[in-house]
Amino acid sequence: MNAFFWFLLIVFSSWIVFIYIIPFLVRIFLRRLAKRFQNYAEKNNQNTTKPEGTVNIDYTGDQPKKSTDIGDYVDYEEIKDK
């Protein structure tokens, strides 16, 4: 009887946790995440909004150019052995 009582207690408490507590915690997490995304979007929107007619030149400095050149193409002729 004692084991059955503990089994029912564990099942009932697990049911309470899954039905009420986990959704509550997920809602809190999603609200914080949405607020973080909203702040990020507002920050980026402020930086991109410029009055019409303004020109902005960003100097990136002297950066080494990345070479995609693998090598020169050499045309060859096949030589037949005698």
pLDDT in tens, 14-59: 998 888 888 999 999 999 999 999 998 888 777 666 677 888 777 7
Which amino acid is residue 64, in one-letter code?
Answer: P
Q: What is the pLDDT of residue 7?
A: 92
Say if 58 falls within a structural domain. no
Report the C-alpha gap between 40 and 37 in whole angstroms: 5
Q: What is the pLDDT of residue 44?
A: 76
Report the C-alpha gap between 7 and 73 in whole angstroms: 77
| Helices and strands of the chain, counted as H and E runs | 2, 0
CB 56 within 8 A of CB 50: yes
Q: What is the domain count for the chain?
A: 1
What average pLDDT does range 64-80 have in this prediction? Answer: 75
Say if 14 falls within a structural domain. yes
| Residue 28, domain extent | 1-39
pLDDT band at 75 (very low <50, low <70, confident <90, very high): confident
